[in-house]
Structure 1
Amino acid sequence: MAKKNIVVAVAGQPNCGKSTVFNMLTGSTARVGNYPGITVDRMEGYWKNDDYKIKFVDLPGTYSLTSYSLEEVVARKVIVDERPDVILCMLDATALERSLYLAIQLIEIGIPVVIGMNMMDEVKSEGILIDTAKLIAKLKLPIIECIARRNKGIPEIINAIIDIYENKNKESLNLNISYGADIDPALDKMEALIKEKEFLKTKCLPSRWIAVKYMEGDKDLIITGQKEDKNFSDSLEEIVKIVEKHTEKTLKTYPEALISDYRYGYIRSILKDGVIKRPEAFRRNISEAIDKIVTHRFFGPLIMLGVLYLLFWVTFNLGAYPQELLQSSFAWAGNIASYGITNELLQSLIVSGIIDGVGAVLSFAPLILIMFAMLCFLEDLGYMARVAYMLDRIFRLFGLHGASVMPFIVAGGIPGGCAVPGVMTARTLKSPKERIATILTAPFMVCGAKTTVYLMLSETFFTGYETIVMLLLTIASWFFALIVSLCLRRTVLKGEPTAFIMELPPYRMPTVYGIFTHTWDRVWQFVKKAGTVIFAVSIIMWFFMTFPRVPETSLNEKSGASSVSTQSIEYNNEHDALKYSIAGRFGSFLEPLTKYAGFDWQVNIALIGGFAAKEVFLSTLSTAYSMGSNDPDSDSKSSDLFKQRLLADLNWTIPAIISLFLFMLLYAPCLTTVVNIAKETNWHWAIWGTVGSLIFSFILSVAVYQVLIRFY
């Protein structure tokens, strides 16, 4: 007998344990995708036995189904457009009244609902008593008590889903809440008209629900209605306008607020009669006691800096060992390929083009893994919500949102992050304009790739002052990100700032399984996206720096006429070959312009390579100075020899170095980041942001260089 397929949407408010339940239900079958047309992750997974195959879709955490935020739009579209067979609504049992608000809205849609009442262990520890049997009797729904992180209640949820799918419970599908004498008559009239007209019949939505959404001014549904029948939709809106005028005149309020009030009133009526009992004296809330210190005006920022410093200190120190091992592995692979491949071009492509290019990025995977594991720990613990809360006041001055803090930190707010996951982290921002402003400025942070470049150059030109240089660069990255954000929010992204209203969830000790699952998802996305793009870009850059090749006759003539050492001849040949290539010619073509910022043709080539990936800047610059232009016969180590060549080049003056530091900080994001910006927004913003940052960084570098050369 064929298995029965059941589609279940997993819904719930933020911090209710919804994703933990989803992971427990689906295990290793979960996969990540994107919802069509938007960039919020879509998690899907499966549970199956001999008779049933259940597909679970994890919806974004949302407090309601009113289409204000991106999460609310996504959750609503899945439920309305895809019409799952069952909705699993997870509740935070410690905040039952607030959690039931979303559940009531889901029930109104008319799809069978199973309720999972999570965190029952915390309910008991706080001395709260919930009579689940009474709640089931009132809601006429299956309600399962859960402790998700301990896997308690998961089998019961599966059984409840199968039972309700088999039509054993239909009573709950006819929930009609009274919204008071000021609104009910209008809703009844609209409902009758919608039924008669069969308005939005293809959506299979209850007429009452459509009427309520029009009364709430739900823009998403109204647009859909306008497309189907503009005249009829306008007639419904006219009824709403009459109600709006009436409620404004008599109650000094508006229909949406009244509907919300009556929903909460309905919830309170359900929770009466002993459904929930709280002790007369609550024990002191530990989370609130901790927050008095953690979010303190003075101590809070100091603790935050200490936590973030510790996070990145552990990342670099602990990650150094596996990173070194990975780098050694790529070096070993390069040596094997060098000995095993005799064809010069093929060897160059495999070793210099692919192994070195891809390896430079993937060698950061251990750092990314450790960083994300600790960030997941802090997020699940509830601390990152406090960070956003504390910095919101500062960010609002620059037109940003408190939730913009995390994208900046992940992108390299403390040196060592990565702009790719930083851009992806901006998904948490509800306002599209604030999200775009954050996405476009997050790449200004000092990512791990920039850190590598800065460490090498600061060690070379500012020996003994490397720490100060890195600190100043980090401060500069935050400064310019906030200033540019302010400019964007005052011009092309002009708009009112979004109120930063957020729940500070109670502190909860994260589970190993939860941290592992969330970390693996993020690291795999980083490796997959960064690795594939870098693979292609490395081949492209190798081609541009190799072709066209210098004619052999030209090289032979220079070799025959030269009286210097063989090593020097080899250097000159490679130097001429690079300048003769497409990249060399383009670098030389740009030099008449870039010289005003202090960049010669060799730096131009390195900066072009840096657009592919900032790590490529050093390898390209090293190639440009390969074989020791100023001391070709030196026996020094390659890294020391590279520094000697840079120091010996008279073009590397203090003004030129500072100009380059600023340009590297702000110019076009790496190609992987640009692709991710396009995915998170669109190609218009990706190109606009890339060109805009390039122009801004060049103007700034020219200005700084021209001023500094007056003093040096």
Structure 2
Amino acid sequence: MSSFALVGNPNTGKTSLFNTLTTSYEYVGNWAGVTVEKKIGDLKEGGGQLVDLPGIYSLHPLSKDERVATQYLIEETPSALINIVDASQLERNLALSIQLLEYGRPIILGLNMMDVAKSRGIHVDIQKLQEQLGVPVIPLIARTGKGSSEILSTLKDFGAVDSPVLTLDYGAAEEAITDIEKMLTSIPNLPNHRWVALQLLAQNPVILQALSSQIDMAEVDAISNRCEAKLLQAGYISSLPEWIRSVRAGFIEKLCHTVLDRSTQKPHNLTERLDAILTHRYLGIPIFLVFMFLLFKVTFDWIGNPLSDLLDGFISGPVSDGINNALDAVGASSFTHALIVDGIVAGVGGVLVFIPQIFVLFFIISFVEDSGYMARVSLLMDSLMEAVGLNGKAFIPFIIGFGCNVPAVMSARSIEQPKDRLLTTLLIPLMSCSARLPVYALFAGVFFQSHQALVVLSMYVLGIAMALLLCKLFSSYLLKNEANVFIVELPPYRLPQGRSLMRGTWEKGKGFLRKAGTLILGGSVLIWFLSYTGPGGFGVEMDDSFLAKIGGLLATLLAPLGFGTWQAGASLLTGFLAKEIVVSTMNIIYHVPNMEGLQGQIALSFTPLQAYSFMAFVLLYTPCLATVGVIRKETSSWRWTVFSIGYALILAYLISLIIYQGGRLLGFS
């Protein structure tokens, strides 16, 4: 089967094109770092497989996701490469294209974002570009699908066609290239030898590691040193890798002079005008905080809550009545009746009523991601992040963590420095993911109804504040960071398409529904069973159940935090599986018919101060089971995984203790 690879700079539209060309759908965002590992899909019309590689700026990797792309090119032999470049940033994007053309595989150059280039007054002569590079050049607007059919038709027979290899004249380095090529002749299954020689001279770490045991690296170093000496004699005093880059840059400059017409380019476009306000040194962060407040206002007060009330009425009314009638009609036993109604319906239904808030939140987040604003947020936070030991790029995984901590941990791969990557991974669980949202909605709706959006926003801000504080502590004493340079891609602002928004919202929200049908369902059954049984057998009183006994073990420890009851202890314990199960457990424990009934029980069991302390504890305590699993996978260390659980528990306890005991001293109840 033919295999094709999508390669390009971050945020050039590779994943959008991947979704159009294949039968699968991957997450798309108008910011760098969305793809953090290679993704494989089947091309439409049975055209073979398509691999979407992480966005890279060159074949010299700095981060783990960039290493994935370079590793693929050295180990695999794709039938052809589809190099996606941004037509509005052609000169910068061609730096990678030149390296791919030297690689020697057949290439299609996908000239994406033609609409953006046109709006900026930039015109690309496609025919001249095609003649200069010797490869097909296809204009694209990937987000609308324009040009994708031409890509598919070109790929049908393109894999079998030999593509001319771009050969630049590297002057004084040519002798060194030839010498290393001779050393490579005895090594099987290598791509283009000249390309490999150039990568060795450029000190590409992936290529050096792959060939370290197959060639004499001391001889390679000797050849490189002789070449640098010649460059020095010729008056070029930079290193050999810099010389190679400069030759490529000169070729690109001449090429762009030939194929680009900037005579009508606009001096200030919409993106620049918006950036003057949204990324303003003093106004940028306040604007972001106002936006977050409005996000929660819409999510809870204006749209989410009314829809949740309707859904709650539907589940507690027609759905519950229908299930009860059906069970009565088939003569179900009291055990079966209690299991389905009190366990499954109460547990799962108690979480499902928050679907509207979660989907509204994801819709707005998808809009902001696709508009290009998220990348600006990371830029705004760079100075603050740098002050605590990281850079603005680490803030992107933090923002992703607002949706789910699992992909957020995975997205930390795009961070170049290993220590920064580990530090970010350890702190991501402090970001308030959507799984905590049902807990906030429940408690804020009962005790802080008139200030619900503000209270929920305070949870998100608290999570960020704790992450920054611990970042400073860890980077100063535990993981001393290396000096780093912050580079972030600022994509153009654009109005997201309705189809893209709906698919993005669905892709984020379906994970919640999947958990409702699996983990939350299983957890609800287990919780109900523990509440239904006890040392005295089946059908015991709730206070005499195994669940009460287990929760009671934690009650004494939790008492100083304001919620020292077995009900709170049991809910927090089961919340380790998934934070949504905290609400499922309470629904089963308090045995209420609908959300209004649960809110009434919560109002009797907590005070506003206790409720806020409880929400803070849910925010900060142990990561969920899935997040623990991905931390273990990404760090390859049980030591760091256990550390992430331990510090979160200690932090949650201390912050809740300060909130509750401090609130009491100040006269709050």
Confirm or deny a common fold (TM above 0.5): yes
Q: Which residue identity does 2:574 align to in structure 1? A: G
Q: Does 1:284 align with 2:268?
A: yes
Residue matched to 1:138: 132
C-alpha change, 1:660 and 1:146, in structure 2 (3 Å) is closer
1:75–1:471 CA distance, 2 compared to 1 (3 A): closer
Contact 2:347 2:588 in 1 (8 A): no
When residues 508 and 643 of structure 1 are mapped into structure 2, their CA distance, relative to the original with a 3 A threshold, is: closer
What residue identity is the alignment partner of 1:512? G
The answer to whether structure 1 residue 119 and structure 2 residue 107 are counterparts is no
8 Å Cα contact 1:115/1:144 also seen in 2 = yes
Asked if 1 retains the 8 angstrom alpha-carbon contact of 2:95 and 2:252, the reply is yes
Q: Amino acid of the residue matched to residue 387 of structure 2? A: L
Question: What is the alpha-carbon distance in structure 2 between the residues aligned to residue 78 and residue 365 of structure 1?
Answer: 40
In 1, distance between residues paired with 2:312 and 2:370? 32
Would the aligned equivalents of 1:39 and 1:679 in 2 still touch at CA under 8 Å?
A: no
Query: Which of 166, 169, 177 is the equivalent residue of 1:178?
Result: 169
Distance 1:237 1:357, change over 3 A: farther
Give the one of 271, 290, 293 matched to 1:309. Answer: 293
Q: Which residue of 1 aligns with 2:617?
A: 663
8 A Cα contact 2:296 2:456, kept in partner: no
TM-score of the pair, normalised by structure 2: 0.85
5 Å-filtered alignment, 1:369-518, equals: 369-412=359-402, 418-420=404-406, 422-423=408-409, 426=412, 428-454=414-440, 456-457=442-443, 470=456, 472-496=458-482, 498-518=484-504
Deviations 1:613-649 (A, max 9, x none): 334334545655669xxxxxxxx973465146426xx
Post-superposition offset of 1:87 = 0.7
Structure 1 247/393 Cα, relative in aligned 2: closer, same or farther at 3 Å?
A: farther
2:551 aligned with 1:587: yes
Structure scoring higher RCO (CA < 8 A, sep ≥ 6) equals: 2
**Equivalent pair of 1:30/1:46 in contact (CA under 8 Å):** no
User: Which residue in the other structure is 2:31 paired with?
Assistant: none
> Would you say 1:616 and 2:571 are equivalent positions?
no
Q: How does 1:35-46 map to 2 (within 5 A)?
A: 40-46=36-42
2:603 and 2:5 map into 1 onto residues whose CA distance is 62
Kindly indicate whether the alpha-carbon contact (under 8 Å) linking 2:133 and 2:166 is maintained by their aligned counterparts in 1: no
Task: Tell me whether 444-453 or 154-163 shows the greater mean CA deviation.
Answer: 444-453
Indicate conservation of the 8 Å contact 1:400/1:497, yes or no. no
8 Å Cα contact 2:296/2:453 also seen in 1: no
Change (3 A) 1:335 1:79: farther
1: CA distance between counterparts of 2:314 and 2:581? 19
Most deviating of 86-95 and 253-262: 253-262
* CA offsets 1:572-611 (integer angstroms, 9 cap, x no match): x523332xx1x33333334454445552444322221222
The question of 1:698 aligning with 2:653 is answered: yes
| Alignment check: 8 A CA contact 1:9 1:79 kept | no
The answer as to 2:254 corresponding to 1:269 is yes
Match of 1:295 among 279, 291, 303: 279
Distance (whole Å) between structure 2 residues aligned to residue 522 and residue 644 of structure 1: 32
CA distance in 2, matches of 1:236, 1:210: 12
Give the corresponding residue for 1:355: 345
Q: Provide the C-alpha distance between the structure 1 equivalents of 2:395 and 2:519, rounded to a whole number of angstroms.
A: 27
- Residue 524 of structure 2 aligns to a residue in which SS? helix
> Distance between the aligned counterparts of 2:367 and 2:207, measured in 1?
38
TM-score when normalising by structure 1 = 0.80
Query: Which of 163, 179, 183 pairs up with 1:193?
Result: 183
**Separation in 2 of the partners of 1:127 and 1:452?**
48
Asked if the contact 2:35–2:54 (Cα under 8 Å) also holds between the matched residues in 1, the reply is no
Opposite residue 257 of structure 1, the aligned amino acid is E
Task: Give the CA deviation at 1:234.
Answer: 4.1
1:148 match: secondary structure: coil
Shift of 1:462: 7.1
- How far the C-alpha of 1:113 sits from its partner, in A, is 0.4
Structure 1 pair 503–640 and aligned structure 2 pair: CA distance change class (3 A): closer
The aligned amino acid for 2:576 is F
Shift of 1:279: 0.6
Rounded Cα–Cα distance in structure 1 between residues aligned with 2:351 and 2:599: 23
**TM alignment of 1:197-346, pairs within 5 A:** 198-199=186-187, 201-202=188-189, 204-226=190-212, 228-229=213-214, 232-240=216-224, 243=227, 251-272=236-257, 274-279=258-263, 282-316=266-300, 317-331=302-316, 332-341=318-327, 342-346=332-336
SS in 2 for 1:192: helix
CA distance, structure 1, for counterparts of residue 516 and residue 238 of structure 2: 51
User: CA separation in 2, counterparts of 1:220 and 1:117?
Assistant: 28
Distance, in Å, in 2 between the alignment partners of 1:362 and 1:391 is: 35
Q: Which amino acid aligns with 1:387?
A: V
Question: What does residue 631 of structure 1 align with?
Answer: none
Q: Is the 8 A contact 2:122 2:261 kept in 1?
A: yes
> Cα distance, 1:390 vs. partner?
1.0
Deviations along 1:353-380, one digit per CA (max 9) or x if unpaired, are 4334344444444434333333333223
Mark the runs of 5 or more structure 2 residues left unpaired by the alignment: 29-33
Higher mean alpha-carbon deviation, 301-310 vs 452-461, is at 452-461
Q: How many residues align?
A: 651
Could you say what secondary structure the match of 2:40 adopts?
strand
Distance 2:458 2:24 in 1: 46
Partner in structure 2 of residue 105 of structure 1? 99
| Residue 66 in structure 1 maps to residue 30 in structure 2 | no
Question: Aligned with 2:71: secondary structure?
Answer: helix
After superposition, the Cα gap between the structure-2 partners of 1:473 and 1:29, relative to the gap in structure 1 and judged at 3 Å, is closer
CA-atom RMSD, angstroms?
Answer: 3.7
Q: Which residue of 1 aligns with 2:541?
A: 574
- Residue 177 of structure 1 and its aligned partner are, at CA, apart by 2.2
Which SS does the other structure have where 2:208 is aligned?
helix
1:562 counterpart residue number: none
Q: CA deviation at 1:693?
A: 0.9
Taking the TM superposition and a 5 Å limit, the aligned residue runs for 1:61-100 are 61-100=55-94
Deviation at 1:240, TM superposition (A): 3.4
Distance 2:362 2:449 in 1: 32
Q: Distance in 2 between matches of 1:218 and 1:310?
A: 47
Provide the rounded CA distance (Å) in 2 between the counterparts of 1:289 and 1:707: 46
Aligned partner of 1:13 in structure 2 is 9
Deviation at 1:89, TM superposition (A): 0.9
Q: Which amino acid aligns with 1:269?
A: K
Question: CA, structure 1 residues 60+550, in 2 after alignment: closer, same or farther (shift >3 Å)?
Answer: same
CA contact (8 A) 1:597 1:702 kept: yes
Q: Distance in 2 between matches of 1:543 and 1:111?
A: 60
**Residues 1:334 and 1:687: Cα distance change in structure 2 (over 3 Å):** farther
Paired amino acid for 1:161: L
| AA matched with 2:651 | F
**What corresponds to 2:644 in structure 1?**
689
Equivalence for 2:21: 25
Q: Which runs of 5+ in 1 are unaligned?
A: 556-572, 628-635
Report the CA distance shift for 1:705/1:164 in structure 2 as closer, same or farther (over 3 A): closer
Q: Separation in 1 of the partners of 2:268 and 2:335?
A: 71
Looking at structure 2, the residues matched to 520 and 85 of structure 1 have their Cα atoms a distance apart, in angstroms, of 33
8 Å Cα contact 1:546/1:577 also seen in 2: no
Secondary structure of the residue that 1:612 maps to in structure 2?
Answer: coil
- Counterparts of 1:245 and 1:263, CA distance in 2: 20
Q: Distance in 2 between matches of 1:260 and 1:530?
A: 52
Q: Which residue of 2 aligns with 1:646?
A: 605
For 2:526, the aligned partner's letter is: I
